[in-house]
Chains A and B, each alone.
Chain A
Amino acid sequence: MSAVLEVSGLKTHFFTHAGVVKAVDGVDFTVSKGEIMGLVGESGSGKSITGFSILGLIDPPGRIIEGSIKFNGEDIANAKEERLQSLRGNRISMIFQDPMMTLNPVLRVDTQMIEAILAHEPVSKQVAWERSRDALGLVGIPSPEERLRAYPHQLSGGMRQRVAIATAFLNKPDLIIADEPTTALDVTIQAQIIHEAQKLTKLTGTAMIWITHDLAVVAGLAERISVMYAGRIVEQGGIDDVIDRPLHPYTVGLLGSVPTANRRGKRLFQIEGMTPNMLALPEGCAFGPRCHARTDACRMQPSIEDVDGRNLRCFNPQQAAETVK
C-alpha cells in the first residue's frame, strides 16, 4: 500500500496578541491508500487544525511554520492557493461535524452537489446531476431524485450528513478528512453513518482521516490511531495494539473513561485537571501535571520513540499501563 499522505514535522502556530498558540507542534503521520486513520484527542488538542492545515485553510493569524505535507508525493504545505483550490473537494475532501450548518440553507441540494463537480471538471450539468444522484443512492438515500430537489431544512440531520458524505465522495478523492462527522448525530444514526463511510472507503480505495474524541467510534472503524495531546502526537499505532494495550498514560486515561459493560457499577476513571492553556504549556511533557506516572524525567520533553511496535512519546510507558489497571 502506497502512502497517500505523509505529514512530517508539521507545525501550525497562531500568532495572537496574547502570544503564540502552538496548536499543532510537530505532528508526523502517514495515511495509506484505502486506510482509515483515527485522529483522537480532547477539544483543543489540535486535531482539527491538523485537518485544516492539510487543506491549506488556516486563516491568519495562524500559519504553517514548519514541516511538510506530502500528498501523493507533492509537498502542499506551502502550495499556491490555486493549486490548493484545485485539490480541495477534488482530490482531498472534508466532512464536517454539524450537518445542520455545512449545507447552504438557501440553495437546493442539487445546486450544491452539481457545483462541487463543476468546480473541478468541465462536464455538462446533466452529467453532474446524474453523478450527484448516483452518489446519493450510494450513501443509502432512498429516491435520490426527490432529495436532490429538496432544500437542506427539509432533510433530517442524518440525511444531511449522508448528503455531505456523498458530496465529499463526488469527485472520487484520494483522501477524505472527516472532522467529528458523527458527533452531532444520535447514536443509531452514528452507527449508520460510520457504516456508510467504511463501505465507501472500501469501495473507492479512498484514504480517510477520522478526527474524533470518541474512542469507541475509532475502535470499530479505524485501522490505525494517532492520539493527540496539546498539539503533539503522544501515541500512534495499530488500532488493536493501542486500544488493547495502551502505553501512554493519556491514552490509558482516555480508554479508562469510556464506559463499558464489564466495568458496570464502578466509578469511571477520570483524568485529573483540565486541558492545558495553549498559551502557557507546562515545561517538558505537556501531559506531565495531569499524569499519574510522572517522574522527574518528565520535566524534559520526551521525544517520539519506537516502543513495542508503535510510536510513543513517554518516558514511563510501562508504569502508565499499570496505574489504572
Chain B
Amino acid sequence: MSDTIADPALSADTPAKVETPFQRFRAEFFESKIATGALAVFLIIVLLAILAPWITPQNPYDLAQVSVMDGRLPPGSEAFDGYTMWLGSDGSGRDLYSAILYGLRISLTVGLASGVIALLIGMAIGLIAAYAGGRVEAIIMRVVDLQLSFPASLVALMMVAALGKGVDKIILALVIAQWAYYARTVRATALVERGKEYVEAAQCLGISRFRIVFRHILPNCMAPLIVVGTVQTASAISLEATLSFLGVGLPQTEPSIGVLIANGFEYMLSGRYWISVFPGLALLLTVVSINLVGDHLRDVLNPRLKK
C-alpha cells in the first residue's frame, strides 16, 4: 500500500488497548460507592444462602433437629442441643439464624429463577411483537396492557390459588405475573433500535431477518433489560414473601422468608419481636441491595442521565 494517504485521525485516536463496552461499563459502575456496597451486601447474602448447610447449627427442614422445647426463645438463648440461638427461635423451635439462611435460599432461588425465565419469555415475545408489527404486535401488546392493569401481586395470588403450593408453582406464578414488564420494555427498545441506520445497513448487506433481530437488535436492547431484570428480581423476591406471608405461597415445612415473617406475626404484640423482625430485616436488606444496584445500573446504562 504505497498510495495510502495519511489520515491525521488514524494516528490520533489509536487506543493503547482495546476497551470493550463491558469494560467501560464496569469501570463506570464501580465509581459509585453506594452501588458497590449494595452489590457487596447482595453477594454476601447470596454466599451465606449458598453456604447455609455448612454454617448453620440447625437444619430447619429436618424435623428431627427441631425441638418444640426451644420454641419462642429470645435472642442469645441456648438451645436444647447446646448451641446458642443468636437471633432467637420461632414458635416451632427453629433457630432463626438457620431458618433465615435457609429461607434466603428459597427466596433467592424463586426470585432469580422467575426473573430469568420471565426475562427470556418476555424478551422473545417483545422482540416478536416489535419485529412482526401489525396484528401480531397489536394482539400481544393488548394482552400485555391487560395484564399490567392488574397489580402483579393480584395476578400472582390468582395463579398460586389456581396452581397450588410448591416452589415450582410459585416460580411459574411469578413468571406469569412478570413476563409482561419485560415484553413491554423489549418491544419499546427494539422499536427504537429497529429504526436505526445500522439495521438498514445490515439489511443492505443481505443479512437474514433472524440474524438481524437476534444478533444486531437484541444486544442493543440489553441495557434496559438488565435494569428491568434487577428491579423485577427484587420485586419477585418480595412478591414471593408476600404470597408466603398470606399463606398461599410455600408450605410451613419449607419456610421461606415470608413464612418466617408470618410465623412471628402473632407474637408481635406479646413482645417477641425477633421472630418477625429478623427475617424482615433479611428481606429488607436483600431487596434494598438489589434495588440500589438496579438504580445505579440504570444510571450507568442510560446515557441521557449522565452528568
Contact = CB atoms under 8 A, between A and B. Distances in A.
Contacts of B205: 88-89, 93, 115-116, 119, 167
A101 B201 CA distance: 9
B13 A106 contact: no
A85 interface: yes
B206 A140 contact: no
Contact of A98 (B10, B18, B197, B222): B197
Contacts, number: 106
Interface of A: 55, 57, 85-90, 93-94, 96, 98, 101-107, 115-116, 119-120, 137-138, 140-142, 146, 149-151, 153-159, 164, 167, 189, 192, 195, 199
A225 to B, nearest CB: 24
Given A106-B21, A120-B206, A101 B9 contact: no
Contact of B207 (A96, A105, A116, A140): A116
A192 B21 contact: no
Interface string B190-233: 00000011101111111110010001100110100000000000
Interface of B: 1, 3-5, 7, 9-10, 12-13, 15, 18-21, 196-198, 200-208, 211, 215-216, 219-220, 222
A89 to B, nearest CB: 3
A119 B220 CA distance: 21
Nearest to B9: A156
A57 B10 contact: no
A55 B202 CA distance: 12
Contact of A102 (B18, B198, B219, B222): B198
A70 B74 CA distance: 88
B10 A195 contact: no
**Chain A to chain B: the 4 pairs with minimum beta-carbon distance, closest first:** A89-B205, A156-B9, A89-B206, A88-B206
A85 B21 contact: no
A89 B5 contact: no
Contacts of B18: 146, 149-151, 154
Nearest to B221: A106
Contacts of B220: 104-106
A102 B220 CA distance: 14
Contacts of B211: 115, 119
Contact of A101 (B13, B19, B21, B198): B198
Contacts of A167: 205
B200 A96 contact: yes
Contact of A119 (B198, B201, B206, B216): B206
Contacts of B196: 101
A85 B200 contact: no
A104 B198 contact: yes
